[in-house]
């Protein structure tokens, strides 16, 4: 997926959600619904989350400088971490409001609130769908996807419970469903938070099989030993590797390095590779660095 393809969902998503927020505020003020006005504020925070992820994506494409030799690729990791924390705060808000409504049940949702929530399902659902493809390989985009998927779930909950409450007057149903939705969001957010912290601490990315990489290098002709193998994420879509290996011979070294470099890039999702070769008695050393 190119950078332009990655930016398109953000452009569409931010635009759709801004239009939805304006519509929600209009209905909220015209019907004197604090619920709609409050939800519009919540949706605006989601737009901010999308903007953070979008800015991080843009920064990750900036060229390296003498001060930042990897550029700003790690901004995407910080954005994923930010969105994970942001989601946890949103979950806290949902749980707090649900508990308050259990203690003081609210009146059933009006038809206007249900209609606007249904519109939210469509807008947030479309936006979440736009990020489905990219979120599989990019934790930053996954953060944006989680935001919109969570909002889709909340809006859907409002529509379903609102319709039931209009018929049954079960005031307790709304907060109970809100707590269930909060739990579902928490499960997904916990994984996002865990992965973001792992990348921030230079852990091995989940989409990289360290054991397979070790076996691949050890199986190369003339390699007798490998050590100091490190794999970490420069950004949410860029992984780096450095390794020291011992060869029995210096013959065809350039070809050896090129072949190994190509295998690591093609098979194991590594974009920046540094290989240090030691020969036999380790008296002679040669380095090669390839990066995109």
User: pTM for the full model?
Assistant: 0.79
pLDDT digits 0-9 by tens, 87-108? 888 888 878 878 887 887 766 5
Burial class (CB in 10 A: 0-12, 13-18, 19+), 285: exposed
In a shared domain, residues 164 and 222: no
What is the pLDDT confidence band of residue 292, given thresholds at 50, 70 and 90? Answer: very low
In a shared domain, residues 27 and 165: yes
Instruction: Name the least confident of 37-46, 171-180, 189-198, 235-244.
Output: 37-46
In a shared domain, residues 186 and 116: yes
What is the pLDDT confidence band of residue 287, given thresholds at 50, 70 and 90? Answer: very low
In a shared domain, residues 221 and 184: no
In a shared domain, residues 193 and 214: no
In a shared domain, residues 263 and 221: yes
SS3 string of 80-138?
Answer: HHHHHHHHHHHHHHHHHHHHHHHHCCCCCCCHHHHHHHHHHHHHHHHHHHHCCCHHHCC
CB–CB of 120/16 below 8 Å? no
pLDDT digits 0-9 by tens, 161-206? 778 877 877 777 777 877 888 888 888 889 889 999 999 999 999 8
Q: How many CA atoms lie within 13 A of 181 on its CB side?
A: 28
Tell me which of 200, 227, 257 is where a domain ends.
200
Instruction: Judge whether 205 lies within some domain.
Output: no
* Structural domains of the chain, count: 2
State residue 36's pLDDT score.
Answer: 66
pLDDT digits 0-9 by tens, 15-30? 999 998 888 888 777 7
| Segments forming the whole domain that contains residue 276 | 210-291
In a shared domain, residues 216 and 125: no
Instruction: Judge whether 21 lies within some domain.
Output: yes
């Amino acid at each position: 997926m190119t950078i332009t393809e990655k930016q398109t969902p953000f452009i569409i998503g931010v635009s759709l959600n801004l239009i939805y927020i304006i519509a929600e505020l209009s209905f909220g003020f015209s019907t004197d619904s604090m619920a709609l006005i409050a939800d519009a504020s919540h949706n605006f925070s989601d737009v901010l989350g999308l903007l953070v992820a979008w800015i991080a994506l843009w920064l990750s494409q900036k060229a390296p400088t003498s001060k930042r030799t990897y550029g700003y690729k790690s901004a995407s990791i910080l954005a994923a971490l930010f969105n994970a924390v942001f989601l946890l705060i949103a979950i806290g808000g949902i749980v707090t409001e649900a508990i308050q409504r259990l203690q003081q049940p609210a009146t059933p949702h009006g038809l206007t609130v249900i209609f606007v929530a249904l519109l939210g399902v469509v807008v947030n659902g479309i936006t979440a769908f736009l990020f489905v493809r990219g979120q599989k390989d990019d934790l930053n985009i996954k953060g944006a996807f989680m935001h919109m998927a969570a909002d889709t779930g909340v809006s859907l909950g409002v529509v379903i419970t609102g319709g039931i409450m209009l018929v049954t007057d079960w005031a307790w149903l709304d907060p109970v469903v809100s707590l269930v939705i909060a739990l579902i969001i928490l499960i997904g957010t916990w994984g996002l938070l865990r992965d973001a912290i792992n990348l921030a601490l230079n852990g091995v990315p989940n989409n990289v099989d360290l054991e397979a990489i070790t076996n691949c290098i050890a199986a190369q002709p003339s390699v007798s030993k490998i050590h100091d193998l490190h794999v970490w994420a420069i950004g949410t879509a860029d992984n780096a590797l450095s390794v020291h290996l011992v060869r029995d011979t210096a013959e065809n070294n350039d070809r050896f390095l090129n072949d190994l470099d190509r295998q690591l890039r093609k098979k194991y999702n590594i974009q920046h590779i540094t290989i240090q070769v030691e020969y036999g008695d380790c008296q002679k050393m040669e380095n090669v660095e390839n990066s995109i």
